[in-house]
Amino acid sequence: MENPLKLKNIHHIEFYVGNAKQAAYFYCHAMGFSQVAYSGLETGNRKFSSYLLRQGKASILLTTPLDPNSAASEHVRRHGDGVRDLSIQVDDADFAFHEAVRRGAKAVEEPHELKDEHGAMRRAAIQTYGDTIHSLISSVNYSGPFLPGFRAVSLNGSDAGILRVDHVVGNVELGKMRYWAEHYQRVFGFHRFISFDDKDISTEYSALMSIVMSDDSYAVKFPINEPAPGKRKSQIDEYLEAYCGPGVQHIALESRDIVATVQRLSGQGIEFLRVPGDYYEVLPSRVGQIRENLDTIRELGILVDRDEDGYLLQIFTKPVVDRPTVFYEIIQRRGSRGFGKGNFKALFEAIEAEQARRGNL
């Protein structure tokens, strides 16, 4: 059971966005998050405005740069609203950083101290695919609401029943999937949990390949996708063009009750992909008996898959930004540790229908 960097869990996911104040409103009122911390001009931060949103143990940090000439502003200009940092909590940020670099990681930020009246934390950062980084964070004696420099805020959203981040999926260029899988194995000590090829994830028109990398505790899971040759442009190709390079494609949020979560999110304006109707005709024979009402599952558009450990329920939003890039998955696990292999074809067909509406298939 190897954990060379002494990883604990995903600490938070930071987006660089064009208007964090408005994005925070969306996450509170549409996604059910609550705003719990803030850093900006009023706290003495002259570089960024940042809003921390939390639901269960899932933490989303929305950051807008205040300097139009900064690297962060260039990130927003190039990619649109997108994930900059997949932050990981570790036992010791200094140790984790130096061990990661020794194992071949590219350094982004040397270890340094963050401090305020609530105590101190240590932070460092290393590079991953595209312009995405992993910050490595450890607490010294910190008791504040998030990170030093943030003040507590209490702005409650309508909780949708999200428990935690289940996994985060990255899209990379053709030929780079195995490179990054090996990088996570070498640097982080991750293992290849599951892999899928173009025979598993394809339709008549397009395909992709994917490798799921995970730590041994399954607390940190990073699937990595690359496009596969097809007759037309795949969803991964569309993403890479729209995002101008590799990056985070979607974030899977685990729900305690996916039916209640989807009902609430739909009522608050979140749009979900809909698979072809005949998917539900064969669902009972394919997955067997489940606890949820099949009519309700069909009405909401929830997908179901079963493996040797149990079954899972999942559904995918449409992109939550104007470019066809970042979206969310809502997932509930009833024993299964898989990723919905039996749903791939139907899901791909639904995504291709949306691509066709955008003129990008």
Structure tokens given for 107: 């350094």
pLDDT (average), residues 205-232: 82
- Sorting pLDDT into bands at 50, 70 and 90, what band is 339? confident
Residue 139 confidence (pLDDT) above 80: yes
Q: What is the pTM of this model?
A: 0.94
Residue tagged 């490179």 (tokens): 179
Q: What pLDDT shows up at residue 233? A: 74
Angle at 321 between CA 338 and CA 161, to 5 degrees: 50
Q: What pLDDT shows up at residue 201? A: 56
Q: What pLDDT shows up at residue 231? A: 56
Report how far residue 211's alpha carbon sits from residue 226's, in angstroms, rounded to the nearest whole number. 9
Per-chain mean pLDDT for the chain: 92
Torsion over CA: 295, 300, 303, 304 (sign): negative
The answer to whether the beta carbons of residues 309 and 336 sit under 8 Å apart is yes
| Ordered domains of the chain (ranges, CATH) | 7-155 (3.10.180.10), 162-358 (3.10.180.10)
Residue 175 confidence (pLDDT) above 70: yes
Report how far residue 233's alpha carbon sits from residue 300's, in angstroms, rounded to the nearest whole number. 28
Q: What pLDDT shows up at residue 114? A: 96
The answer to whether the beta carbons of residues 310 and 334 sit under 8 Å apart is yes
In Å, what is the CA distance from 157 to each residue of 14, 30, 73? 19, 8, 28
Q: What pLDDT shows up at residue 92? A: 98
Q: Nearest to residue 224, comparing CAs of 185, 253, 189?
A: 185
Q: What pLDDT shows up at residue 257? A: 98
Residue 200 confidence (pLDDT) above 70: no
Ranked by mean pLDDT, the top range of 115-119, 206-210, 224-228, 278-282 is 115-119
Half-sphere exposure in the Cβ direction for 107 (13 Å, CA) = 14
With a pLDDT cut of 90, the percent of the chain lying above it is 79
Residue 208 confidence (pLDDT) above 80: no
